[in-house]
A and B are shown apart, each in its own frame.
Chain A
Amino acid sequence: MAENIRVLMAKVGLDGHDRGVRVVARCLRDAGLDVVYTGLHRTPEEVVDAAVQEDVDVLGVSLLSGAHMTAFPRIMKRLKERGVSDIILLGGGVIPDEDVVALKKMGVAEILLQDTPPNVIVDTVRRLVRERGAR
């Protein structure tokens, strides 16, 4: 039976670095996951709304602009407002170590930094969905 994991990949804010997000989207798609990519320049709120509408298991947000400590809190806030607790939030990009710790404390399930091999990304997504259990 197909695993049917649904993922929304997203870019928020003005950051245009999309090499990573598109590689990740393709790796997940090639691994058989159901992937949607928002394209660039979305607001944190738009991204959460799209994730809810698409009924995804995982929301992956890529940021290389240094604005992660502004963007992720807004995403968390919107998730709360929408009453969502079962979407797994993942982060990726150029993020300093101390911010990684802070973001995880905030509720981001995992931060996958640059040079994370594609197979590790796929495995991480599957593991997190498995650990969350069925909805």
Chain B
Amino acid sequence: MSKIELENPQAVQDEVRDWEQREVTSFLTKQKERKEQFYTSGGFPVKRTYTVLDAQQTPVEDIGLPGRFPFTRGPYPTMYRSRFWTMRQIAGFGTGEDTNKRFKYLISQGQTGLSVDFDMPTLMGYDSDHPMSEGEVGREGVAVDTVADMEALFDEIDLEKISVSMTINPSAWILLAMYVVLAEKRGFDPNKLSGTIQADILKEYMAQKEYIFPIEPSVRIVRDCITYCARNMKRYNPINLSGYHISEAGSSPLHEVAFTLCNLITYVEEVIKTGMNVDEFAPRLAFFFVCQTDFFEEIAKFRATRRAYARIMRDRFGARNPESMRLRFHCQTAAASLTRPQYKINVIRTAFQALSAVLGGAQSLHTNGMDEAFAIPTEEAMKIALRTQQIIAEETNVANVVDPLGGSYFLESLTDDYEKKIFDIIDEVDKLGGTIKLIQESWFQKHIADYAYDTAIKKQTGDKPVIGVNKYIEPEEKLDVELHPHDETTAERQINRLRRVRKERDNAKVSALLEQLVKVAKDPSANIMPVTIDLVREGASMGDIVEKLKKLWGTYRENPVY
């Protein structure tokens, strides 16, 4: 491997030492530094400054070129010089009609991709009239029970032209089936649909805690989505491997990406077991990370993760197609970093976080609304968030050069540190018996909980400054925040439609298909997608399907650690 060649490295070293002895020492006698030792938010020590001597540690090939292995500098050769990242503000509340209006508003404001947030019952596979759904229908996202809701949700939106990301996990395959049926009804070509279902169930057990079934059948469902899409929906991402929720649940940035890659390894192993070649499905694996507040650390995290992914896919799984080694990710600013006090400054936090995502080479981006420490965002808050992205894209000129920070002594050094630590964790997980075993032993969960606790204590002591919360507090602050209103008629409107569908459908057909579903579910080598598509086409609801499978597979309950 080639390294940066210095004509006289000893001379450089001598100069650095001389600088430390003269300028630095003399300055320190006049003015001490703010801290004895500086760290990134994630705990990586950082030096006073970095020099070409640090850059010499990084093989030139590891930095490489954009769009070429190991993809440190970006998945594509021209990046934002060709097309900006997709501006993808998530939205979802009320019924399909309610969210459809928000989508159309966002599109009219220049948004270039759609992203759907579902309500808790939909995320957890309950129908809107189930007792567990009380108070939650259309509250945190849009309610979807049947295909009829999807028709309302995407009414008059051309799904061959705009990509749609759906944030949904244990019930993702049902939503995917509904999307397929909706496309059928509207005459769209499934191979022209582009979008993503999150469907990353392993991080649910680790972090976000939206799960229904035990781990084994849940991973099988993910496998089925991946193989189904590889064969039938060429442009669709069947999974969005998500560090975001691991981070929001409290993990360190290192654990966010390392744990996500542990999950990746598990899924890839499962799919390969079916006999599918890695290059057949890997190009459509997509990722989702957070951009937190430590600016350079986040950029290094993204770059290191791209490099680690490329190596895993090539060296561990034998991928040969470069597209299988190219990590593409959606990014969202850090919701847990938003504050209630002086909430308007959340706009600024979000802007810096978004800038780190862009400098880190994200393919799509959601910027949070300033009011999200109170409730789901208003239209105004979403507009400002979208404008933040538009300013970065069109006013700052940061998008005109690919990986403008590449070659920075500091950033390359931190990128290296990150990559090394990522592989240390992957090795440890391999040695301890693999991801699924360690989820069952709460190994990941404990790491996440520990870091969340440390963060809370650091905020309490002021070790981690949060403006408005533990610094520059305004005790007399009067909040003038206008919140997104919840329409109290939502549940009733939603349940009425569900009842209408149940009345109008052919119930004998649905029952027969549900029996067929059980048969397919019992055969672990079968793919669950086709029968699910048949079911939702006939008007089966999410609850019909999930309740049936709960009887077969049971449900998952975690042993919480804290």
| Contact call B466/A23, Cβ cutoff below 8 A | no
| Contact call A39/B248, Cβ cutoff below 8 A | no
Give B483's nearest chain A residue, CB to CB.
A96
Q: Within 8 Å of chain B (Cβ to Cβ): is A67? A: yes
CB contacts (< 8 Å) of B460 on chain A: these are 117-119
| Contact call B210/A66, Cβ cutoff below 8 A | no
Q: Within 8 Å of chain A (Cβ to Cβ): is B562? A: yes
9 residue pairs bridging A and B, Cβ less than 8 Å apart:
A13-B135, A27-B456, A41-B132, A65-B139, A94-B373, A115-B466, A117-B456, A117-B470, A118-B460
CB contacts (< 8 Å) of A17 on chain B: these are 209
| Contact call B140/A66, Cβ cutoff below 8 A | yes
CB contacts (< 8 Å) of A96 on chain B: these are 374-375, 483
Complex Cα–Cα for A13 and B108 (A)? 36
Complex Cα–Cα for A47 and B340 (A)? 28
Give B448's nearest chain A residue, CB to CB.
A19
Q: Within 8 Å of chain A (Cβ to Cβ): is B16? A: no
Question: Can you add 4 more A-B contacts, CB < 8 Å, to A66-B375, A118-B456?
Answer: A13-B120, A27-B456, A40-B558, A70-B134
Q: Within 8 Å of chain B (Cβ to Cβ): is A14? A: yes
| Contact call B560/A22, Cβ cutoff below 8 A | yes
Complex Cα–Cα for A15 and B136 (A)? 9
Chain B interface residue count, CB cutoff 8 Å, equals 46
Q: Within 8 Å of chain B (Cβ to Cβ): is A71? A: yes
- Given the known interface contacts A22-B452, A26-B449, A66-B139, the answer about A94 and B375 at a Cβ–Cβ threshold of 8 Å is yes
CB contacts (< 8 Å) of B558 on chain A: these are 39-40
CB contacts (< 8 Å) of A16 on chain B: these are 204, 208-210
Binding site for B on A (CB under 8 A): 13-19, 22-23, 25-27, 29, 37, 39-41, 43, 65-67, 69-71, 94, 96-97, 113-115, 117-119
Give B211's nearest chain A residue, CB to CB.
A16
Q: Within 8 Å of chain A (Cβ to Cβ): is B238? A: no
Complex Cα–Cα for A113 and B374 (A)? 10
CB contacts (< 8 Å) of A71 on chain B: these are 135
| Contact call A18/B209, Cβ cutoff below 8 A | yes
Q: Within 8 Å of chain A (Cβ to Cβ): is B150? A: no
Q: Within 8 Å of chain A (Cβ to Cβ): is B262? A: no
- Given the known interface contacts A65-B136, A65-B139, the answer about A19 and B120 at a Cβ–Cβ threshold of 8 Å is no
**B123, B135, B210, B374 — which one has the most chain A CB atoms within 10 A of its CB?**
B135
Q: Within 8 Å of chain A (Cβ to Cβ): is B486? A: yes
| Contact call B248/A69, Cβ cutoff below 8 A | no
CB contacts (< 8 Å) of B133 on chain A: these are 14
- Given the known interface contacts A19-B249, A19-B336, A40-B209, the answer about A117 and B459 at a Cβ–Cβ threshold of 8 Å is yes
Complex Cα–Cα for A119 and B208 (A)? 26
Q: Within 8 Å of chain A (Cβ to Cβ): is B457? A: yes
Complex Cα–Cα for A29 and B453 (A)? 12
User: Which listed residue (A14, A18, A22, A97) contacts B136, Cβ 8 A?
Assistant: A14
Secondary structure type dominating chain A contacts:
loop
| Contact call B339/A115, Cβ cutoff below 8 A | yes
Complex Cα–Cα for A69 and B486 (A)? 12
Complex Cα–Cα for A115 and B469 (A)? 7
Shortest distance between the CB of B245 and any CB in chain A (Å): 9
| Contact call B459/A19, Cβ cutoff below 8 A | no
For chain B, residues 445 to 462, give those with C-beta under 8 angstroms from any C-beta of chain A: 449, 452-453, 456-457, 459-460
For chain B, residues 298 to 320, give those with C-beta under 8 angstroms from any C-beta of chain A: none
Binding site for A on B (CB under 8 A): 120-121, 123-124, 126, 132-136, 139-140, 204, 208-210, 248-250, 336, 339-341, 373-376, 449, 452-453, 456-457, 459-460, 466, 469-470, 479, 483, 486, 557-562
CB contacts (< 8 Å) of A13 on chain B: these are 120, 132, 135-136
| Contact call A114/B557, Cβ cutoff below 8 A | no
CB contacts (< 8 Å) of B449 on chain A: these are 22-23, 26
**A18, A43, A94 — which one has the most chain B CB atoms within 10 A of its CB?**
A18
CB contacts (< 8 Å) of B486 on chain A: these are 66
Complex Cα–Cα for A49 and B491 (A)? 28
- Given the known interface contacts A23-B453, A26-B449, A97-B479, the answer about A14 and B562 at a Cβ–Cβ threshold of 8 Å is no
User: Which listed residue (B123, B135, B204, B562) contacts A25, Cβ 8 A?
Assistant: B562
CB contacts (< 8 Å) of B208 on chain A: these are 16
Complex Cα–Cα for A117 and B479 (A)? 20
| Contact call A67/B139, Cβ cutoff below 8 A | yes
CB contacts (< 8 Å) of A15 on chain B: these are 120
CB contacts (< 8 Å) of A94 on chain B: these are 373-375
Shortest distance between the CB of A123 and any CB in chain B (Å): 12
CB contacts (< 8 Å) of A39 on chain B: these are 557-560
Shortest distance between the CB of B140 and any CB in chain A (Å): 5
Shortest distance between the CB of A15 and any CB in chain B (Å): 6
Shortest distance between the CB of B138 and any CB in chain A (Å): 10
Q: Which 5 A-B pairs have the closest CB atoms?
A: A70-B135, A16-B209, A22-B562, A14-B120, A117-B460
CB contacts (< 8 Å) of B374 on chain A: these are 94, 96-97
User: Which listed residue (A14, A37, A115) contacts B124, Cβ 8 A?
Assistant: A14
| Contact call A65/B250, Cβ cutoff below 8 A | no
| Contact call B132/A19, Cβ cutoff below 8 A | no
- Given the known interface contacts A27-B456, A94-B373, the answer about A19 and B340 at a Cβ–Cβ threshold of 8 Å is no
CB contacts (< 8 Å) of A37 on chain B: these are 560, 562
Complex Cα–Cα for A43 and B468 (A)? 35
Give B449's nearest chain A residue, CB to CB.
A22
| Contact call A26/B453, Cβ cutoff below 8 A | yes
**B134, B459, B470 — which one has the most chain A CB atoms within 10 A of its CB?**
B134
Complex Cα–Cα for A58 and B236 (A)? 49
Shortest distance between the CB of A51 and any CB in chain B (Å): 17
CB contacts (< 8 Å) of B562 on chain A: these are 22-23, 25-26, 29, 37
CB contacts (< 8 Å) of A67 on chain B: these are 120, 134-136, 139
Complex Cα–Cα for A19 and B459 (A)? 15
| Contact call A14/B452, Cβ cutoff below 8 A | no
CB contacts (< 8 Å) of A119 on chain B: these are 460
- Given the known interface contacts A13-B132, A22-B452, the answer about A114 and B373 at a Cβ–Cβ threshold of 8 Å is yes
Complex Cα–Cα for A113 and B377 (A)? 18
